Amino acid sequence: MIKAYILLGDFMTLYEHKMSKIYIFLFLNILIFLIGICKIKANQFPLMGITIYLDPGHGGLDPGSIYKNIYEKDINLEICKRLNRKLTSLGAVVYMTRDGDYDLSNINSTQRKKSDLNNRAKIINESSADMYISIHLNSVSSSTWHGIQVFYDDVNNKNIVLANMFQEQFKKSLNTTRDVKEIKTMLLNRKIKIPGILIEAGFLSNSNDRYLLRQPNYQEKLADNISKVLISYYN
């Protein structure tokens, strides 16, 4: 009888040992599987957990730069909408200061432009976003000036890093020879405390830029290049 109990005990010990190995094996396989899923998600959604605030410049009564019947405000908005879709597909949370043809000035404001910029800065600062990107178009009296250019304010020490990363990407892929430019007199950029930059996506006063900026495929290309910089910056 005693011998039977001993044998039963040995059997149970062996059984428990084997079951422990099975449990460990299953646990390790589940862990490997979960790590694999995480890697797949990281590859598919490289901007997961990142919040970006997009600011399409101008809007409403403020058209921005104009060439005949072409308004800067409309192109800014279209670029931001495409960029919004691209960044969202990469896992980012995206907000926009406007999604239609209006500005953010207070009703009956006597300083409409200042009110608009102050309100944009306020909602971006209060959002706790990781970064903002303001999209604008350039225009000068000479039609020879062309190319995309990044502007920044040193109010945040990350801004110069971001500006250089974006400008280098644009030089490689969007045929521009322009360099980043620091400007401390832009009201919006001076007021926003989170990292960010302003992109002048081209010149409405230049015929080639003007043509490209209205093309959906070029707008998509611009969105792709901005996305590449963000993926590189956050990974």
Q: Give the pLDDT confidence score for residue 145 in this predicted structure.
A: 97
Name the pLDDT band for 31 (thresholds 50, 70, 90).
low
CA 96 to CA 15: how far, in whole Å? 61
**Same-domain status, 31 and 117:** no
As for how many domains the chain has, the answer is 2
Backbone φ, ψ for residue 86 (5° rounding):
-65, -50
**Same-domain status, 33 and 90:** no
Which H/E stretch holds residue 135?
A: strand 131-138
**Same-domain status, 23 and 66:** no
Q: Under a CB-based contact definition with an 8 Å cutoff, are residues 131 and 195 in contact? A: yes
**Same-domain status, 139 and 193:** yes
Q: Give pLDDT tens digits for 39-71.
A: 455 579 999 999 999 999 999 999 999 999 999
Q: Under a CB-based contact definition with an 8 Å cutoff, are residues 75 and 213 in contact? A: yes
**Same-domain status, 32 and 68:** no
**Same-domain status, 51 and 85:** yes
Q: What is the CATH number of the domain that holds 166?
A: 3.40.630.40
Q: Under a CB-based contact definition with an 8 Å cutoff, are residues 142 and 205 in contact? A: yes
**Same-domain status, 55 and 28:** no
Average pLDDT, the chain: 90
CA 104 to CA 7: how far, in whole Å? 83
Indicate whether this model's pTM tops 0.85.
Answer: no
**Same-domain status, 100 and 198:** yes
Q: Give the pLDDT confidence score for residue 37 in this predicted structure.
A: 45
Q: Give the pLDDT confidence score for residue 4 in this predicted structure.
A: 53
pLDDT (average), residues 210-226: 98
Q: Give the pLDDT confidence score for residue 43 in this predicted structure.
A: 75
CA 172 to CA 174: how far, in whole Å? 6
Asked whether the predicted pLDDT for residue 21 surpasses 80, the reply is no
**Same-domain status, 74 and 163:** yes
**Same-domain status, 96 and 125:** yes
Q: Cβ neighbours of residue 225 under 8 Å, at least 6 residues apart?
A: 169, 170, 173, 174
**Same-domain status, 145 and 190:** yes
CA 57 to CA 200: how far, in whole Å? 10
Q: Give pLDDT tens digits for 173-208.
A: 999 999 999 999 999 999 999 999 999 999 999 999
User: Which domain, by its residues, includes 3?
Assistant: 1-44
**Same-domain status, 23 and 81:** no
What the block records as the tokens of 190 is 């001076």
